[in-house]
Structure formats: C-alpha cells, structure tokens
C-alpha cells in the first residue's frame, strides 16, 4: 500500500515558513491579483490565493476587470503595477478571454514581479538552472518528493503532459535533479511502455482514468497534478487512485495533493520577490 503524500500538511508548513519570513521584513509583501472576466473556476482560484496571502501576512491588491477589457487597458494596468513599490508580485489569472494575447500580457509583467514564473526571462533562467523563481506547480511537486525523501537522482522519471506551465518545467526540474526524464504527450505511441518503467511518474494531462494500475511500476512514486471532475462533480485526478494506491510506493491524492502545494509555492515566490525588492 502506497504512502499517501499529504500535500495539505506540507503546504501548511510552507505557508507557516512564508508567514514567519514575511513578518521579519521591513515592509509587508504585496501581491496584485488581476482577474479578467467571470470564469467561475478562476474566481475560486483567485479567492484561494487571496486567502493564502492573508494567512501569510502578504497584502493582496485585487483588480477585477470586465471580460470585454481591451489588451491596451490591461497592459496599462500591468505597467502601473510594475511601477508600484507596494507590489512585489503580479499575478494575472489565466486563461484570459480569447481576444487578449496571453503571451503579450505575460511579457509585460516585470520579470522581478513575475511570481508565477511564466515570463520568458524567468523560464530561461529556470531552464538554465539559475532560477529567480520556480514555477509553482512543478516546485510543489519537487517539494513533496523532497519531504518524503523520494529518490530522483539516477531514477527514471516520466512526465505526462508538455504544457508550458506544468509538463515542460516539471521535466526541467527533474532533469536538474539528475533524474532521467521522458516527457510524454498526446502523440506518444504506447504510453504504458514508458509509464511502466517510471520510478517517478508525474501525470499532468487532465483526463480522468488515464493512469491505470497496469501502467504503474510496483513501488513507484505517482504524482497526480490533474484536476478533473467526475460525473458527480467531485474533484479527481488522472490516476485511478484506489487501484494505483495498492501498487505504488507513494501517491498524491486529489484533492489534497499537488493543488495546495501549488498555492503554497506561490507564497514562497512572493517572499522571494519581496526579499529582492527590500534588499
Ligand atoms: P494542458 O495545457 O491542457 O496540457 C495537457 C497536456 O496533456 C498536453 O501536453 C497534451 O499533449 C497532453 N495529453 C493530452 N492527452 C494525452 C494523452 N492521452 N496521453 C498523454 N498526454 C496527453 O494542461 P495543463 O495546464 O498542463 O494542466 C494539466 C492538468 O493539470 C489539468 O487537469 C489541470 O487542471 C491540472 N493543473 C493542476 C494544477 C495544480 O495546482 N494541481 C496546476 C496546473 C494545472 P499535447 O501537447 O500533445 O496536446
């Protein structure tokens, strides 16, 4: 039976550390949260991040903009936030409405305030192994592997999904920790051939039931990043949890696994930015 990785407990610990650090700074760290439109999931995520900020002694400045906001006015707001000395981090909640170019918006954020680590400058620094910030979800996964002393060095690591925010940076961080990494995606032929060899399997696809027990190596660490809904609307991941739990060495639940760690790592990045600005 696998050890269940308790993302909630570890996230609470990371947030306590962030709060202690925030309390020791001369000025309260600040996060600007920009939400464009009415997407219900985005509203929930933003509210959660603002609650985390309050818990960690970080000031949050909310900017709710209507769905029809122009790119010009969004970029103007980002320019203002870039110059605001109370703002250490800027978070633009994605996805944006279709008429707004996400790359242009991300590129407008000052790299030293890019606490999501989405700006090309920070992606480059992270990929080169000299990060300013770490992308929140992959950093959360690495923190869980560390906390549970799950070996990565020399191990076979398989990442499912190659998005810019999860899969690709996840593969980069595991590679930097001396894992031997295979990055799989929708065009991968015979997915199970790769997953069965994985000592560390990270699934970030968004397809319920994708990872079944026969695809998992005995004793593997199985990290489920995905957030799907089952037919009754309950949150679930990509992994067939009950069956895989019986076979894996470690497993993350959904909810209560990677999700809380992603949020905690955002708090860590805000502290990094605040330290940069208050040095
Ligand atoms: P995304 O941008 O939609 O990327 C999904 C990836 O999965 C793509 O690379 C896609 O391949 C690949 N894929 C699709 N079907 C596949 C299959 N049958 N076999 C193997 N790979 C397949 O998604 P994302 O933003 O990375 O998010 C992935 C999941 O993680 C979602 O459920 C999301 O809600 C969740 N998520 C959770 C957190 C958290 O904090 N827990 C944070 C971010 C995201 P192609 O590139 O070939 O299309």
The candidate with the shortest Cα–Cα distance to 171, out of 163, 159, 161, is: 159
Choose the catalytic residue: 49, 113, 155, 217: 49
Q: Which atom of ligand 1 is nearest to the CA of 206?
A: 32
Task: Report the separation in Å between the CA atom of 60 and the middle of ligand 1, taken as the mean of its atom positions.
Answer: 29
From 139, 159, 162, 204, mutation site for ligand 1 pocket: most ligand atoms within 8 A of C-beta: 204
Whether the full predicted model's pTM is greater than 0.95, yes or no, is: yes
From 95, 168, 186, mutation site for ligand 1 pocket: most ligand atoms within 8 A of C-beta: 186
CA–CA dist 13, 146 (Å, integer) = 14
CB 28 within 8 A of CB 269: no
Alpha helices of the chain — where are they, by DSSP H? 7-23, 40-56, 71-83, 102-108, 120-127, 136-147, 167-176, 191-195, 241-245, 258-278
pLDDT of the chain, 279 residues: tens digit per residue: 999 999 999 999 999 999 999 999 999 999 999 999 999 999 999 999 999 999 999 999 999 999 999 999 999 999 999 999 999 999 999 999 999 999 999 999 999 999 999 999 999 999 999 999 999 999 999 999 999 999 999 999 999 999 999 999 999 999 999 999 999 999 999 999 999 999 999 999 999 999 999 999 999 999 999 999 999 999 999 999 999 999 999 999 999 999 999 999 999 999 999 999 998
For the question of residue 116 being annotated catalytic, the response is: yes
For the question of residue 49 being annotated catalytic, the response is: yes
The residue whose C-alpha atom lies closest to atom 44 belonging to ligand 1 is 226
Residues touching ligand 1 (Cβ under 6 Å) are 137, 160-163, 165-167, 184-188, 191, 204-207, 210, 225-228, 258-259, 262
CA–CA dist 98, 77 (Å, integer) = 19
Give 201's strand partners.
158, 222
Helix (H/G/I), strand (E/B), else coil: 191? helix
Q: Which atom of ligand 1 is nearest to the CA of 237?
A: 32
């Amino acid at each position: 039976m696998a050890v269940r990785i308790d993302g909630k407990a570890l996230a609470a610990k990371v947030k306590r550390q962030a709060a202690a650090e925030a309390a020791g700074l001369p000025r309260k760290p600040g996060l600007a949260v920009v939400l464009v439109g009415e997407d219900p999931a985005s509203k929930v995520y933003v509210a959660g991040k603002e609650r985390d900020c309050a818990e960690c002694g970080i000031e949050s400045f909310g900017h709710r903009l209507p769905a029809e906001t122009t790119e010009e006015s969004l970029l103007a707001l980002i320019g203002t936030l870039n110059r605001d000395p109370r703002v250490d981090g800027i978070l633009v909640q994605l996805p944006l409405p279709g008429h707004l170019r996400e790359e242009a918006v991300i590129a407008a954020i000052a790299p030293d305030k890019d606490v999501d680590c989405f700006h090309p400058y920070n992606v480059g620094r992270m990929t080169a192994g000299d990060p300013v910030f770490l992308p929140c979800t992959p950093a959360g996964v690495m923190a869980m592997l560390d906390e549970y002393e799950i070996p990565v060095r020399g191990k076979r690591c398989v990442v499912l999904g190659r998005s810019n925010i999860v899969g690709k940076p996840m593969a980069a961080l595991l590679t930097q920790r001396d894992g031997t990494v295979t990055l799989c995606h929708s065009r991968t032929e015979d997915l199970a051939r790769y997953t069965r060899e994985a000592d560390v399997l990270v699934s970030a696809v968004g397809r319920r039931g994708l990872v079944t027990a026969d695809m998992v190596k005995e004793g593997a660490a199985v990290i489920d990043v995905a957030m799907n809904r089952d037919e009754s609307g309950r949150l679930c991941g990509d992994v067939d949890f009950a069956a895989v739990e019986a076979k894996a060495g470690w497993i993350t639940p959904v909810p209560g696994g990677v999700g809380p760690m992603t949020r905690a790592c955002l708090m860590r990045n805000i502290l990094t930015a605040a330290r940069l600005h208050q040095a």
